[in-house]
Structures are given as C-alpha cells and as structure tokens.
Structure 1
Amino acid sequence: MPTLVLQQFNRGFFRSLFWIALPIALQSMLFSSRSLVDIMMLGQLGNVEVAAAGIAGKAFFVALVMLFGVSTGGAMLAAQYWGANNKQGLREATALTVMISGGFASLTAALFLFIPEAIMRFATQSLDVIALGSDYLQIIAFNLLGAAFVISMAVGLRAMHQPGVSTLFSGIGIVANMFLNWILIFGKFGFPEMGIKGAAWATLLSGAIELVLLGSYLYGRNHLLAFNFSTIKSVCNQKDIFRFLKLSLPITFNHLAWAGGIFVYHAIIGQLGVNGLAAISVITPIESLSLAMLIGISSASAVFIGNLLGANKNDEAYLKAWAFTLVNLVCALATVLLMFVIKQPLLSLFSGLTPDVRNLTDHFFDIFAIVLVLKSIPIVMIVGVLRAGGDIKFCFYQDIIAQWVIGIPVTAFCAFVLHWPIEWVYALLGLEELVKWFASSFRVYSRRWINNLVA
C-alpha cells in the first residue's frame, strides 16, 4: 500500500491541492489574524485587557465552532452533490445550511447579550476582567448572524472548488478590521479612545463589510449559490431538514463538546492566575494562525474525498486519505521550523506584557510547537477523511473520550490536586491529541468510514 499512496503524488494532485487548500488556509489565517490583531493592539494596554479579550474571544470561538459544526452537514452534502454533478442539490444544500446556521447563531447571540457575565465568570474571578470581557461579548454578539451566512456560503463555494471567492472578501474584512482597530482602540481621527470596546466594534463592523460584499458579489453575478425564496421553500420539508440535522447535529454536538473542552482548558489555566490567562490569550491566536495551512489541507481533503465518494471511487478515496495525511504531517514539521524562526520578533510585538507574562508566553510557545506536530494527523483524519464519509459518530465518541474522559480530568487533577507548574499543566493539552493520533489512524485503516451519502 505505501507504493500506491506515493503514486497519488503527481502534478495534478498537488496542483488541485494548491488551488483548493491555499485559499482555505489563507481564509483561516485571515480569520485567525483578527484575534491576533486584537490581542496585539490590546497587549499594548496591559495584562487585564489581554486576559479579557482572550476569554471573550474564546467564547466567541466556541460559538463559531458551533456554526462550523452545523455547516459541516451541508459541506458533506454539497461536496458529494458536486461530485455527482447535481447542481440543484448543491444549491438547495447551501440554502438549508444558511437557514439552520442562522437559527443556531440567533440563539447563541442571545446568550452573549443577556448573560455575558456568567460566561466570563466561568474562566476567571477577576472583576475587572469580567467587566471588560462582558462589554466585548455584548457588542460582537450581532456578528454571529453575519458569520452564519458567510460560513454557509463558504461551504458551497468550497464544494465547487471556488474557495478563493470567500477568501477574497475575508481579506478585505481583515484589512478593515485592522484599520478600525487602530482607530477605535487608540482613538484616532477624532474618535474617542475606546480600548477593548473599540476592538469589539471593529470586529462587528468589519464582519458587516465582509457580509455585504460577499452577498453583493453572489447575487450581483447571479451565482449558482445565490438562492431565492423558491429554493428555501423547496427545502423546507421534513425529509431534507431531517437528513441535514441527522448529519449536522452529531457534528455540531461534537464541535461544541470539543470547543467547550478548549474553553475548559482555558478556564483551568485562568484559575491558576491572571498571568497564565494573559499568556494563553496571546498564544491562542498564534496557535490558530499556525494551524491555518493544516486546516486548509484538511478541508481540501474533505472536498476531494467527498467528490470521490459521491462518484463511487472508493479505492481512490482510501489512497487519497493516506496521501493527505502524509502531506499534513510534512506541512506541520515545516510550520514548526518557521515558528521558531519568527518566535522572538512575533512575541516582541506584545509590548504591554509584564516580564513574568512575557517569560511564561515564551514557554507556552515552545510547548505548542511540539503539540502542533501531534495535531497534524488527527486534524486531517477527522476533518478531512472521516467526516467526508459521514463517519460522524466515531468522531464524536473519540472527541468525548479523548478530551472529556482523559484530557480534561487529568489536566484538572494535575493543576488543582498535584499543583504542577503552569507550564506542565499547559503541556497536558497535548494528551488528547496523542489519543486521537492512534484512534483515528486505526479507523481510517479499517475503511469503515467509506459511505456514499447522496446515492
């Protein structure tokens, strides 16, 4: 089999991978850079602002992960519809994704608006951090509604091998975010100096700009995905909604369980002190940025494998799964080398951190670089391979066991009972990745994930 896997590496494979994975990776980098820009600019103000933005940003991240989970059901259907050359099916799957994602976004936005203090208090007891983070959450709550549309449309565009469209408008959004951050955080051009509230308003306004531009492009060009009321009416039936929810809800719960676990890890570090909370708040957007290319390759593999499964090319899909896994591992090693090259210049941008926090952030950076290699295998197998074949129950159970049964209890025990140093506690975040490394590999090898969802 190794020879057959290596035979997948031809010019056509890498050319197709490049044109799909790169725009997705760029979009992920742009998305991550929004948080990084917020943290960098707020890092010039002090530790409390960084900690508040870190917790609120992590809560917003959990909400976005939920939306990605909801949209993944649509992504599986869209990729296989496109592989089966069913354009109407793709259009309807995208419309249904927008509708259901919008409903979930509305519920989450209500939580951010009405109980932000309860969300913040879960991760910290600092009253200053809670107050600042609550203001941030209430402002960016409305951004979830636009995000539901943008994420859903990106799913359809990705299935059509047109990820560059959504990437372009994400790029415009991040440029707007950086400019608005500079104006509103520090009070330029006559605006008041708003601090963390300015960062929240910049995020909201730049998201609105991205939403308007993407919608104008799709409907102005009468794009295939520019669905209308008749499309919505056609998918509002029990059969389509039930099939969508049957795929999406387990993935959504899986995403929520995973993202909620990440928030719990963040809270464990936060309960050990504001310094640890500030350090992990700095590392989190750097982590997301470092994972961008791995996410791009994983998402591209989901499109390729979904297309192959929809066309009933099961043997080729199996070989491609291992080929993408190998590519992701090599990419992770290259990313780690790059991280160490830019480490000092990057961390020096956070000029407002105290020496203790700066030193702790330095240690966290080194630890995450090692964990990144561990993440490379599970991420492509779960996001790209297993879910492309609809093997969602295995992914859900694996995440629950690896994170909530093993990772979180061990981390909490070592932090609060054994009183390990905070760097060691942070290193335990890689334990669940090690569990997933072996479990996912055995699952892919078994071929039990190979299913045609649109036959």
Structure 2
Amino acid sequence: MSKIITILSSIRGNFVRQLIAIAIPIAVQNILFSSRGLVDVIMLGQLGEAEIAAVGVAARATFVSTIMLVGVTTGGALLTAQYWGAVNKQGVRESTALTCLISMFFATITVLLFLLFSESVMAVATDSPDVIRFGSEYLQITSVSMYAVAMGSSMAVGLRAMHKPGISTFFSAIGIGSNVVLNWILIFGHFGLPAMGIVGAAIATVLSGVIEIVTLYGYLYRKQHLLAFGWYDVVAAVNLRKVKRFLQLSLPTTFNFLIWSGGLFVYHAIMGLSGVQGLAALSVMTPVESISLSFMIGISSAAAVLVGNQLGAKEYEKTYEQAIALTILCVFASIVIAFLLYLLQTPILDAFSALTPETRALAEKFIAILSIGIVLRSFPMSAIVGVLRAGGDVKFCLYQDICAQWVIGIPVTAIVAVMFHAPPEWVYLAFLTEECVKWIGSIPRIRSKKWMRNLIDSDM
C-alpha cells in the first residue's frame, strides 16, 4: 500500500501541471488531425454510402503512411526529449533538422506508392468498382499531403520535447479550419465553382495541409525560434554516427508502426468481406475512434516527453514511479471517455445522414464495442507510446505488436469472419483480441525496468 501511495504521490504539483500543459495541446492536436477524416466522411456522407466507404478505405491507407512518418519522427522525439532534459539546445536543433530531412525522404516513397498503385491499394479492402474508383481518385490527389504531414510531425515532436506543443496545435487548428471551409466550397460547389464531390475533398485536404505548414514554419522562422534550424544545423546533423543512431531508434519504430497500421488496414479488408454496409459502418467508426482516443494519446505522448526528460537527467527511480502512475491515470481517463462516447452515440450518428437504417443500427452496435475497446487499449497505449519507447525500448514494442496483431489478432478475426461467417459486429469485436495480448506482455516489461536507458550519453 505504501508503495502505491509513493507512486501516486510522484504525479502531483509541478509534474501534474507539466503533464496537463503537454497532454491537452497534444490531445487537441490529435482531435484536430482526426477531424480531417471526420469532416470528409460527414460531408461526403450526404452523397451516399459508396462515397463513405471509399473515403474510409482511402483514409485508412493514408493513415498507414501517416503512421509510418510518425514512426520516423519518433527517433527525433526520443533524442530531442533527452537533449532538452540535458539542457543541450544545439542537440535539440540538430535533432529537429535531421528528423525533418529523413521524414521528407520517407514521405517521397509514400507519394510515389499512392500515385502509381492507388487502385491496387483500394482493391485490397473491397471489390466494389464504385468504391475502388472513388477511393483511387481520392488517394492520388491526397498523396502529396504526406509532405505536409512529414514537415508538421517533425516540428511537432521538437515542440513537445520543449513543453511547447500548443504552438503546433494552434497551427493544426488553422489547417482543420481551412479544410472545413475548402471542403464546403469544393465538395458541393460554392462561389461559382463546380461541385467536385470526393475529388473536392481530396483537393481541400492538400490545400489545408499547405496552409498549415506555411503558417507554422513562417511563424517559427519569423520568431527565430530555437527549432528554426538552418543549413549549418542540417550539415552538422548529417553525420554518420548521428544518422546511424537516429535510424537505430526510428527504423524499428517505423517498421513497428507500419506493421501495426498495416494490420489495421487488413482488419478493414476483413470487414470488407461482409459487404459495403459493414465497411460503411467501420468507416464511420474510424474517425470517431481516433477522436475518442485523442485524450489518451495526449497523456501517453506527454508521458513520453516527461519520462524522456527524466531519463536524460538520469533520475531513474523517479522515472519508474512516474511511469507507473501515468499508466494508471490513462486507464482511469479511458473509463470516463468510454462512458461519454456511449452516452453521446445518438448525436454522433445523427451527423451521418446518408446511412441506411440497417447501417445505422450496425453502427450503434459498433459504438458499444468501441467503448469497451477504448478501455482495453488504455494501458497498452500508455505503456508502449508513453513509457517503453521513451527509454528506446523499440525492439520489444516491435516484437510485441507483431505477435499480438499478426500472429494472434488478425488470424482470430479472419477465422471469425471467414470460417464462421459471423455478423459484422462480432468481427469488429474480434479486433480487440490483440489488446488483451498486449496487457499480458506490457505489464512484466515495465516492471523489469529494462527499458530505462539514457540515449544521449555519447554526446555529453
């Protein structure tokens, strides 16, 4: 009992203020990011279920590439947090420059993939000609927005490490505001422009991304912010030893994120076997789920920053106590969020006016399952995103995700869908199998303390 009191007492006073100051802007930023997909789904949802399904599948594909880019920036996030904890400002600058450079390289790969193979990507999840055609058009246009994702994520991780996430959140709000206005103009045809439907939504996504990045970088360079790196910082960062260390942290996490997000796309494809109705209901759930999880993502990301700062300062015992307390806090937060989601399901689903009564009824079942899933995801999310990766324990996270998702979760879901021909709600419930496995793996790993490592000693 005394140990529990000691652990809980480690998250009070200044630590709580820092947690809230970092977590809330990150949560808001994630809500804004998820709202892009939600705005597209809601506005296109007034046109028909084929458009909802198409943008849902395409958005899941772009989510895979976005997650890959976030994985690339994770190496920079880990290093920058520890540089900031060690009060090494030049290290913060160079780490941000290297993060931006490498993430832009990976963004180019995803742009080429979506431009050249958009129909093949869509065909993985559905055999509906209309869904493939609509989704392919959307993917080809939105592909270039990956450059904006790379540049925005690179700067966001640096700002988080400096406990200034509100800056990138503000400019994300500008981006989503632009997306809403441009969607309204281009999808339905206002101010004399033709109604462009799903193509208009794609163009709006690209233009809003450009607006966000131009305003963010313009602000940082005009203010001569610490993260406004120059050519000399890039040259200093492109050092074989630094690049190698960055990739040693980033590549396992990038591969981890790719494997995980690719698995989500496979889940989408399995649901597609149940028909357009199940796919449409799942497409509605995707942005709703992302928004619902945003606060927990904020806590987990803030935990990663604070744990990384403590590891950089070599405060190991305090790090462990705060890590345990933060995971407990995330679980309690998930219970509140799940309860609110279940209560608000009627106004949420009312926004999707094109859903048939049958699809609406299915979506209501999905929300009940999602509420359970939010609680199940809370501890693995806080453990993996907020604690283990902060200490550079990226290989364990990779191996656990492969085992939980690809060895157990996806096969179980496929068996439920293909062998037992279960209804869509049971297939959706089977998605949660992997979260149960992650609870079993994450608890002993955190308790082992093997993840607590200082990553920047060689620079000191």
Same fold (TM over 0.5): yes
Alpha-carbon contact 2:122-2:136 (below 8 Å) kept: yes
For 1:358 and 1:182, the matched residues in 2 are separated by 24
**Residue 159 (structure 2) pairs with residue 152 (structure 1):** no
Match of 1:119 among 93, 118, 121: 121
For 1:380 and 1:6, the matched residues in 2 are separated by 16
Alpha-carbon shift at residue 147 of structure 1 (Å): 1.2
1:43-73 Cα deviation digits (max 9, x unpaired): 1111000000000000000000000000001
For 2:408 and 2:385, the matched residues in 1 are separated by 21
The amino acid of 1:430's aligned partner reads L
For 2:456 and 2:35, the matched residues in 1 are separated by 36
The amino acid of 1:185's aligned partner reads I
| Residue aligning to 1:273 | 275
| Residue aligning to 2:20 | 18
| Residue aligning to 1:216 | 218
SS in structure 1 at match of 2:391:
coil
For 1:233 and 1:14, the matched residues in 2 are separated by 38
1:149-199 Cα deviation digits (max 9, x unpaired): 110000100000000000000001111111111111111111111111111
**Residue 39 (structure 2) pairs with residue 45 (structure 1):** no
Superposition pairs of residues 50-199 of structure 1, within 5 angstroms: 50-199=52-201
Superposition pairs of residues 220-369 of structure 1, within 5 angstroms: 220-369=222-371
For 2:110 and 2:273, the matched residues in 1 are separated by 25
1:196-224 Cα deviation digits (max 9, x unpaired): 11111111110000010001011111111
For 1:248 and 1:10, the matched residues in 2 are separated by 32
- Following TM superposition, where does structure 1 have runs of at least 4 consecutive aligned residues deviating by more than 3 angstroms? none
Alpha-carbon shift at residue 341 of structure 1 (Å): 2.1
Unaligned 5+ runs, structure 2: none
For 1:246 and 1:10, the matched residues in 2 are separated by 34
For 2:273 and 2:112, the matched residues in 1 are separated by 26
The amino acid of 1:381's aligned partner reads A
Alpha-carbon contact 2:40-2:183 (below 8 Å) kept: yes
For 2:413 and 2:374, the matched residues in 1 are separated by 18
1:250-282 Cα deviation digits (max 9, x unpaired): 000000000000000011001220101100000
The amino acid of 1:452's aligned partner reads N
Q: Which sits farther off after the overlay, 229-238 or 40-49?
A: 229-238
For 1:233 and 1:405, the matched residues in 2 are separated by 42
Alpha-carbon contact 2:74-2:250 (below 8 Å) kept: yes
Q: Which sits farther off after the overlay, 234-243 or 60-69?
A: 234-243
SS in structure 2 at match of 1:291:
helix
SS in structure 1 at match of 2:224:
coil
Alpha-carbon shift at residue 13 of structure 1 (Å): 2.4
Match of 1:395 among 361, 380, 397: 397
For 1:63 and 1:357, the matched residues in 2 are separated by 29
SS in structure 2 at match of 1:272:
coil
For 1:7 and 1:224, the matched residues in 2 are separated by 34
For 1:221 and 1:345, the matched residues in 2 are separated by 42
Alpha-carbon shift at residue 29 of structure 1 (Å): 0.4
Alpha-carbon shift at residue 425 of structure 1 (Å): 0.9
Match of 1:31 among 30, 33, 39: 33
For 1:59 and 1:282, the matched residues in 2 are separated by 15
| Residue aligning to 1:434 | 436
1:221-263 Cα deviation digits (max 9, x unpaired): 1111111111111111211111110110000000000000000
For 1:349 and 1:7, the matched residues in 2 are separated by 43
1:361-390 Cα deviation digits (max 9, x unpaired): 111111010010000000000001000001
Unaligned 5+ runs, structure 1: none
The amino acid of 1:149's aligned partner reads M
For 2:319 and 2:331, the matched residues in 1 are separated by 19
The amino acid of 1:407's aligned partner reads G
Equivalent pairs counted in the alignment come to 455
1:387-440 Cα deviation digits (max 9, x unpaired): 000111110000000000000011101110111121111101111001101211
The amino acid of 2:443's aligned partner reads S
SS in structure 2 at match of 1:350:
coil
For 1:203 and 1:359, the matched residues in 2 are separated by 30
| Residue aligning to 2:408 | 406
For 2:190 and 2:312, the matched residues in 1 are separated by 53
For 1:6 and 1:132, the matched residues in 2 are separated by 51
State the TM-score, normalizing by the size of structure 1.
Answer: 0.99
1:336-383 Cα deviation digits (max 9, x unpaired): 121122110110110011111111111111101001000000000000
For 2:182 and 2:100, the matched residues in 1 are separated by 28
For 2:9 and 2:329, the matched residues in 1 are separated by 13
The amino acid of 2:47's aligned partner reads L
Q: Which sits farther off after the overlay, 417-426 or 71-80?
A: 417-426
Q: Which sits farther off after the overlay, 81-90 or 235-244?
A: 235-244
Alpha-carbon contact 2:145-2:206 (below 8 Å) kept: yes
| Residue aligning to 1:7 | 9
State the TM-score, normalizing by the size of structure 2.
Answer: 0.98
SS in structure 2 at match of 1:119:
helix
| Residue aligning to 1:374 | 376
RMSD over aligned Cα atoms: 0.7
Alpha-carbon contact 2:274-2:423 (below 8 Å) kept: no
For 1:66 and 1:449, the matched residues in 2 are separated by 23
SS in structure 1 at match of 2:232:
helix
